[in-house]
Structure formats: C-alpha cells, structure tokens
Amino acid sequence: MEVLKTSEKILLYEKIAYNIERQINNEVYKTGEKLPSIRTICREYGVSMSTALQAYYELENKSLIESRPQSGYFVSHPVHKLAIAPETSNPTNMVSSDKAEFIISEVYKDFDKHKVTLFSLSVPDDALLPIPKLNKALLQATRTLKGSGTEYEQVQGNPRLRNAIARWSFKVDSNMTGEDLITTAGCMNALSYCLMALTERGDTVALESPVYFGILQLTKSLGLKVLEMPTNATTGIELEALKKAFEAQKVKVCLLVTNFNNPLGSSMPDSHKRELVKMLEHYNIPLIEDDLYGDVYFGHSRPSSCKTYDESGLVLWCGSVSKTLAPGYRVGWVAPGKHKEQIIRLKLFHSVSSTTITQEAIADFLENGRYDNHLRKLRNTLHTNSLRFIHSIVTHFPEGTKISQPEGGFVLWVELDKRIDTFELYKSAIRHKISIAPGRMFTLQHQFDHCLRLSYGLIWTEEVDKALQLLGRLIKEMY
C-alpha cells in the first residue's frame, strides 16, 4: 500500500486512514466490500493493534465504513456521493433592491446563541478552540512584552508575528519574509486597506457570485461597483468570463476567495490559479486574494494560493486566524507586494498600530507548534462534520436537493427547488430555534432566493442531526 507523502507531521493512524479513504473514493474497495482485518493492517503497516483500530475508528466517524459484529469492517453505502452539485452561477449584474441588507440584519440581530442551533454562523464552535492554551499565551505576552503590552506596536506590525507568518507561508510555496507582511485587525481589515489603496469611488471590482456578504457590504460602503462573475461550486470563478470582463476594460481590481470560498466552498485548482495570475499580469489588474480558509483543508496538504505564482507583485495575499484559532483576537495580515508602502500609510492613518498583546500571543502559537497541532484536530473534526451534514441532507431533504462538497472550510451551499424562498424558510426555522443563512444574503442581485448556506463548524451531536432532519421537514412542507 502507498503511504501518504507529506511535509507535515501526521500521526501514523491518520496516514493509514487517509490511504484507505482514498482507496474507497477510487473504488478500490467498493460499497459493501470487506476491508482488511485489523491483524492484516497491523502486519502490512507494522503498527500496533490500537493504531490500526484508531485508523478504522477515524473512517467510521466519517461514515465511510461500518463495523459488523463477528465479521469485521465493511465499506458503507456512500450516501454523500449521491449528492448533486449546485449549478454554476449565472449573474446578470442587474443590481436589485437592498433586500440582502434587510435579510442580513434579521439573521444576525441579537439572539441567545446558547439556545439556537447556529447553522448561520461560519466560525468554529468555542469547544473546537484551544482556549486554555490561548489564555496562557496571553498571560505570557503580558510578562514578556515591554510595558506588559501597553505600548504601541510598530506600524507594520509585531516583527515576531510577521516572521512566524512568513515561515508558515512555505506551505503555499511562498518566499516571503517578515518584511513583506503587514499585520491588520483581522482579514476584513486587510481587505479594506487593499481596496482603499487600489480603487476610487466608481471603480469596478470583480467578485465571485455568490460571495461572502461582508465583502459585498464593504465594496458598497467604499462606493465601488460590483461585477459578480459566474462561479462553479467546485472550481471557483469562471476564468473565461473573467477574461471577457478584462477585455471590456470593466475591472479595476479582483477580490477572490481562492480556497474554500464562503459560501460555496469552491477552491480554484492550481492550473486555474496559474492561468489567473498570467491574465492579471497581461492586463495589469491587481488581485486581492482572501486566503482566510486555506489552512482548513481536508486533503493531505494545504492548497497553493495565487500568491504562489505571483512574480510581479500584483497579488495582495490576505489571511487571518479569525476562522481557525481566535475570532475575537482580530489578528490578520496582508502581503501586499508592490503596494506595501500604500498599505502601511493607510494603516498609519486609520489605526496607528495593531493590538500588541494578541499579536504576541498568536506569534507564540505559530512558533511553538501549537497551531499545527490545533489545526490537525480542527481539520479532522470539520471534515467528519461535513460528511455527516451531507449524509443527513441527502437523507432528509427533498429529492433533487443540490449540495456542494467542499474539500475544506466551514460551510455547505445548498440549492433547493426554485419554488422555495429560503428567507421564508429562515423565518419558519428560527421559530424552532434553528438559524440558517438564506442565499439572498450573498449577492446584490435577484438570485439565490432558493439557496442557503449551512455551517458545519459545530460540535456534532444528536441535537444537530435532529435540527437538520427538522429543517428537511420544514422544506418539504413549503412545497
């Protein structure tokens, strides 16, 4: 058997589980077939019985295999493979009313999150975060920083953090150093600086469609025109359509979530990223790359970014730990390429410096391997959750429901029958203490009314499964 090849530290049972999962997906082992016995796994991999069992437990948690008493382990019926992918979007760019803003305010108005099943919130549950270790890192920061962290940080950001991010960036084959980076108050703050540096009121920004509603509202607040582009639920923005927009001279800048887009979950293949960067260089159009979700991958290695292929400094690479480690710490960054001095000047004018203590604490996490360990556990949980969610949706939602199958990230995009208005579904579901994100939030146009986004960044429980079942019943009642 082929052993997983990766530069990251992976536990042995995870390597075994990965190899078997790949064989199941490639139908080396077909549905209903018996898998090698525990003793066979021990012999072939040279591992203990407990390691072999843990690998099989891992596959059981993903609903890929099942144990039959006195018989062994068998490949389960892959219900998630029955899921139909959503259609490629086809925006018309006829901007409609402010319905999206109204829906956003309704969905995210004050509620007691401890009493509501939050399928609408695309952040990890608190129970998935290493909060005690973060607390220790904060305490350590107050002890080591000058003035216990009360002094201003330099404008470009904490040097220790910038160097740690630069070392981390080898995962996307980047040669950047700490001097290439500027820290920000989260990823949205980085995107805001980039847009302010590159555009003027009335300029056009090309975005995926659907796209995270925060990006839409940010571009509107800056007086920019939004060009929503056709986007595939698996491979991301349609490059041919983007090229036509470039040729028509409509686009001043692109802003794309290249890895595990929110809300679609799409991820651009490496070949598309290379082609996109070549297009950008040809037309001299900068790309603001939101790579917020790139570390939450389900495969054996982190996907590349467009920054990986950038030789001209046109890609402004933005990231953060807001979705992976500490949402409230507001620690983000940007590698702005040739626009570095513009971004530093904007940061000086708008915020003077970043928060001193939280930057130091995150730097400690990155340097000491804690972030790696945390991410491995988080990715495993989220991957398992995504398969469970898809299994439940295929089982309980109406026949013909289309579901994205992301290879990372936190969210699923669900496309229902066009007769279903998902804002009406939201109003029905919230009465049962279930919160969803209606698809109309993720566009400025009259589209996606029959779609919704579901977050699987929760702890999987029987209550979560029951909430999905109830959501399926509510949808069926709307026919």
| CATH value of 12-77 in 3.40.190.10, 3.40.50.300, 3.30.460.10, 1.10.10.10 | 1.10.10.10
Inform me whether the pLDDT recorded for 132 exceeds 60. Answer: yes
The predicted structure's pLDDT at residue 9: 45
The yes-or-no verdict on residue 430 having pLDDT over 60 is yes
Q: How do residues 69-89 score in pLDDT, each as one tens digit?
A: 777 888 876 655 667 889 899
**Mean pLDDT (the chain, rounded):** 90
pLDDT of 126: 92
Start-to-end CA span in the chain (Å): 49
Please give the pLDDT value at position 1. Answer: 36
216-228: pLDDT as tens digits: 999 999 999 999 9
Output the pLDDT for position 92.
Answer: 84
pLDDT at 114: 66
**Which pLDDT score is estimated for 38?**
92
pLDDT at 300: 76
Confidence of residue 4 (pLDDT cuts 50, 70, 90): very low
pLDDT of residue 158: 94
Query: Does 11 have pLDDT greater than 90?
Result: no
Classified as helix, coil or strand, 99 is helix
Extended beta strands in 119-189, E state: 182-184
Mean pLDDT check: name the lowest of 113-117, 210-214, 247-251, 399-403: 113-117
- Whose CA is closest to 323, among 353, 285, 294, 289? 294
Least confident among 66-80, 406-420, 423-437: 66-80
Q: Which of 86-95, 134-143, 323-332 has the lowest mean pLDDT?
A: 86-95
d(CA 26, CA 10): 22
In which band, very low, low, confident or very high, does the pLDDT at 3 lie, cut at 50, 70 and 90?
very low
For residue 271, pLDDT over 70 is answered with yes
Counting Cβ atoms within 10 Å, is residue 190 exposed (0-12), middle (13-18) or buried (19+)? buried
Q: Which CATH number, 3.90.1150.10, 3.40.50.720, 3.40.50.10470, 3.40.50.800, labels domain 83-128+373-477?
A: 3.90.1150.10
Topology of domain 146-369 in CATH is Aspartate Aminotransferase; domain 2 (3.40.640)
130 confidence band (pLDDT: 50, 70, 90): very high
The residue behind tokens 């969905």 is 107
Q: What does the pLDDT average to over 101-117?
A: 81
Tell whether the model's pLDDT for residue 111 goes beyond 80. no
Q: Is residue 14 scored above 90 in pLDDT?
A: no
pLDDT band at 97 (very low <50, low <70, confident <90, very high): low
Start-end of CATH 3.90.1150.10 domains in the chain:
83-128+373-477
Give me the DSSP letters along 175-208.
---GGG-EEESSHHHHHHHHHHHH--TT-EEEEE
Taking only the tens place, the pLDDT of each residue in 291-313 is 999 999 988 789 999 999 999 99
**Predicted confidence band at 193 (pLDDT cuts at 50, 70, 90)?**
very high
pLDDT at position 7, please?
A: 37
Which tokens hold the place of 179?
């001097």
Compute the Cα dihedral for 416, 420, 424, 430 and give only its sign. negative
Give ranges for CATH 1.10.10.10 in the chain.
12-77
Q: Tell me what the mean pLDDT of segment 101-120 comes to.
A: 83
Which residues make Cβ contacts (< 8 Å) with residue 139, sequence separation at least 6? none
Residues of the chain with CATH 3.40.640.10: 146-369
Q: Which of 74-83, 133-142, 210-219, 243-252 has the lowest mean pLDDT?
A: 74-83
